[in-house]
Chains A and B, each alone.
Chain A
Amino acid sequence: MLLELDGITVAFGGLVAVSNVSFTMAEGDVLGLVGPNGAGKTTLFNAVSGLVRPTQGRARLLGRDLIAMPIHARARAGIGRAFQVPQPLHELTVRENLIVASRFATGRIDNERIDEILDLLKLGHKAEAEASTALALTEQKALEVAKALATNPKLLMLDEVLAGLETAGKRAFMHTLDAVRARYGLALLIIEHDIETITRLCQRVIVLNFGKLIAEGTPEHVFNDSEVIRSYTGGEAA
């Protein structure tokens, strides 16, 4: 198994943000993580990438215990993460952002891979531009994914990277993600609100509500599940 989560619970004081969540992902899997606002999706991402420490539970990447590792060690072990709000390193160019990721996550600067990533994410023409000031929204999102790719991840976690893009932009970005997957064969874990996007990208979906895993299966199966519909509409299933 690539990723194994076993009974992950994250509590902030009395508030249980993620409650006893378990699932697994095989290499190359594309898994969607959906649920209403406040369901604990981003907290679960934080627990896997290391930004919060779970109160209980275990997480393994290729059999290695993730919870014991600090954030930078998880990045080196193969966890790549793109944020919902782009987080470029200021004062560095687009290319330098990727070089920092490549240098510190893999131990060497892989210029060939960096050029390839810039090309795949259509950032080649902005490679020497300052990352924090010179990019349009779509390009900032692309850089977010590119930075994560430069760490040479086995699992790429995308936290609503498509949010805020218009329909055409979303479609173009999905094609880009297809190309990335075709090239690197990595697994994707995707938080996304847009059901069309999830259905189009993911083979499998899990649904969180109030921190609990309430459904798991193919997109068609899950989005017809009455409990899932109730959690989204807050009322009775149609």
Chain B
Amino acid sequence: MIDLIAQSLFSGLLSGAYYALIALGLALVFGTMRVINLAHGELVLLGAYVSYTAEERLGLDPLASLPLALMVVIAANMVVYYLISLIKKDRELNSLILTFGIGVILTNAMLMIWSADIHSATTPWYHDAVILFDTLFAMQAELVFAGAGVVLVGAVWWWLEKTWYGRALRAVASNRDAAKLMGVDPRLTEILSFAVAGLLATVSGLALYTAKVIQPSLGHNLTVKAFIITVLAGIGSVPGVLLGAVLLGVVESLTVTIASSALQELAGMVLFLVVLLLMPSGLFGRAKRRG
């Protein structure tokens, strides 16, 4: 039993790093534009399907398809940005309907193009088992993308904290009008945040395709997870996203081990409600922000 718990904690940690990748893209866009991109999960899937097509048709290794997947997903996210920027009134609220609609369209487009079949990477290397400390099991792909998750979250954190474009992004998030009056062009920071969110979504898509399975209707579920993590973290906290994601990963994984896999999704929702009841501004959120 101890071994099982240790294994599920470990698996939870690995899932957490991957969840963090998905959630950070959503959190970044919300931070700069106060827009919740409900099509974010579908963009993750889009990246996964580009990788699937490249492997299936061209025989490309999933990692080698990264540049192609990046181009497709970032281009798609630019279209999402363009459509959102056309909303002049009550953008925060109206963009919910817009991005929900984009998500539905993307899901159905993927269903038409790739059918409802379930796919996963066929390059065997990704599914090879790695045994750590004699007891802990993981797939190569899980370790690769957990590592990528931690590195990318760290890189985004560094970018936001230490570079001037990152600071401009935080300035716009903190006080849009004041930032504009200081010469910051909000469009530039918004486009940057959508591009980086696209990059994170693509890498998450590759992780999904190689370590798990893909199916066109999964997008919505991914968005919900990303949203839960963003709120758990406390809006605007990058380390919070990583910890919230790991918390969700571990809770889900323990639920599967101790209770049943049928309760996995419920566990995340219960965690979400409990944290919100006890800490309304999230684990790392500030009590008050001016927008």
Contacts and interface: CB of A to CB of B under 8 A. Distances in A.
B172 to A, nearest CB: 9
A101 B174 contact: no
Contact of A105 (B174, B177, B182, B289): B182
Given A90-B289, A92-B167, A96-B167, A104 B182 contact: yes
Nearest to A152: B183
Contact of B181 (A49, A92, A99, A103): A49
B179 A100 contact: yes
Interface in A139-166: 147-148, 150-151
A104 B168 contact: yes
B183 A151 contact: yes
Contacts of A91: 170, 174
Given A92-B167, A100-B168, A87 B184 contact: no
Contacts of A104: 164, 168, 182-185
Interface string B258-291: 0000000000000000000000000000000110
A201 B177 CA distance: 28
Interface string B155-183: 00000000010011011001101111111
Contact of B182 (A70, A90, A151): A151
B186 interface: yes
Contacts of B174: 89-92
A71 B170 CA distance: 18
Interface residues of B, number: 19
A106 B184 CA distance: 10
Contacts of B290: 87, 90
Contacts, number: 77
Contacts of B168: 100, 103-104
A72 interface: yes
A51 B177 CA distance: 8
A7 to B, nearest CB: 24
Interface residues of A, number: 30
A87 B184 CA distance: 15
Contacts of A87: 175, 177-178, 290
Contact of A100 (B164, B177, B186): B164
Contacts of A51: 177
A72 B186 contact: yes
Interface stretch (A33-41, A75-83, A204-212, A220-228): A75-83
Contacts of B183: 72, 75-76, 101, 103-106, 151
B262 to A, nearest CB: 42
A75 B290 CA distance: 22
A87 B290 CA distance: 9
A100 B175 contact: no
Nearest to A148: B181
A79 to B, nearest CB: 8
Nearest to A86: B178
B182 A147 contact: yes
Contact of A92 (B171, B177, B180, B185): B171
B175 to A, nearest CB: 5
Candidate in A83, A88, A90, A103 with the most chain B CB atoms within 10 angstroms = A90
Contact of B184 (A80, A100, A150): A100
A188 to B, nearest CB: 16
A146 B45 CA distance: 47
A72 B175 contact: no
Nearest to A106: B183
Contacts of A103: 164, 168, 183
B116 to A, nearest CB: 45
A163 B48 CA distance: 57
A75 B167 contact: no
A50 B176 CA distance: 13
Interface string B189-220: 00000000000000000000000000000000
Given A91-B170, A101-B182, 8 more contacts: A50-B180, A72-B181, A90-B175, A90-B290, A92-B170, A100-B184, A105-B183, A109-B164
30 contacts: A50-B180, A51-B177, A72-B181, A72-B183, A72-B184, A72-B185, A75-B180, A75-B182, A80-B181, A87-B290, A88-B175, A89-B170, A89-B171, A92-B167, A92-B174, A99-B164, A99-B167, A100-B167, A100-B168, A101-B182, A103-B164, A103-B183, A104-B168, A104-B185, A147-B178, A147-B182, A148-B181, A150-B182, A151-B181, A151-B182
Interface of B: 164, 167-168, 170-171, 174-175, 177-186, 289-290
